[in-house]
Homo-oligomer: A and B are copies of this chain.
Amino acid sequence: MRYAILGTGIVGRTVAARLVSLGHDVVIGTRDPATTLARTEPAATGVPVPPYASWRAEHPQVELLTFAEAARQGEVLVNATGGRVSIDALTAADAGHLEGKVLIDIANPLDFSGGWPPVLDPVNTDSLGELIQRTFPGLRVVKTLNTMTSAVMVEPARVSGDHNVFLSGDDEDAKKEVRELLLSFGWPEASILDLGGIQTARGVEMVLPIWLQLMGKFGHADFNFHIQGA
């Protein structure tokens, strides 16, 4: 399977590397590949992220393309952009390259512009997952994995004991495909909780504030939610 990851941040890189290790073809999309590769400074937001070029050097098999070219080549798409720019990125990807494809939406619409704590936008009466599905009806959006740090997404055993990953989406076949991918990442079948349609993306996006508080409290991100008594 050929995956196109949209977004060159730590989440996109982590998912890309894992997909490669599982034998998939992976391309990464960004607004302007030349600019992304030219950056030499770590990204300024949150935890320092090494320049993309240094990650690229270690993963030469992952081509860096424009959003449009990546989306054209990808059979399955992964939204790992910042949630506040996801619609722009998907617009740049070109609706014609999205038609009928599964989009695994990992993004959270966190707005850091007002300082800490970030707030969510959209929120409560809407969600990024719904907004993407509504804006690009040809996509088969599955919201998942957004409730944990990227290292745990692709290697759940980093967190010992049982813990959960959620699925939200209107397309049952798309959710089945994503479930298979989660199993290949090492998620036990019983840990995957299908919450229902894409509207349930509201709930999983709205756990971000407490997740951020917990990360601050623990001083690390290697934790996850477990629903006890399910």
Knowing A124-B119, A124-B120, A206-B206, the reply to whether A200 touches B228 (Cβ < 8 A) is no
Tell me if B227 and A214 are in contact (CB < 8 A). Answer: yes
* Chain B CB within 8 A of A210 CB: yes
Which A residues are closer than 8 A to B by beta carbons?
Answer: 117, 119-121, 123-125, 158-163, 166, 193-196, 199-200, 202-204, 206-207, 209-214, 216-218, 222-230
Cβ contact of A223, chosen from B119, B124, B217, B227, cutoff 8 A: B227
The residues of B that contact A229 with a CB separation of less than 8 Å are 158-161, 163, 222-224
CB distance from A82 to the nearest CB of B (A): 18
| Identical subunits present | 2
Q: When the two chains form the complex, which single residue of B117, B204, B225 contacts A199, counting CB atoms closer than 8 Å?
A: B117
* Chain B residue, CB-CB nearest to A196: B213
Q: How many angstroms between the C-alpha atoms of A136 and B204 in the bound complex?
A: 32
**CB neighbours of A223 from chain B (8 A):** 227-230
Residues in chain B near residue A161, CB distance under 8 A: 228-229
- Which of B195, B203, B211, B225 is the one whose CB lies under 8 Å from A226? B225
Establish whether residues B196 and A202, one from each chain, have CB atoms under 8 Å apart when the complex forms: no
| A161 to B195 Cα, complex, angstroms | 22
Shortest Cβ distance from A175 into chain B, in angstroms? 14
Q: List 11 A-B contacts (CB under 8 A).
A: A124-B124, A159-B228, A161-B228, A162-B228, A195-B214, A202-B209, A203-B213, A214-B227, A223-B230, A226-B226, A226-B227
Contacts of A203 in B (CB 8 A): 209-213
Find A207's partner among B162, B210, B222 (CB 8 Å cutoff): B210
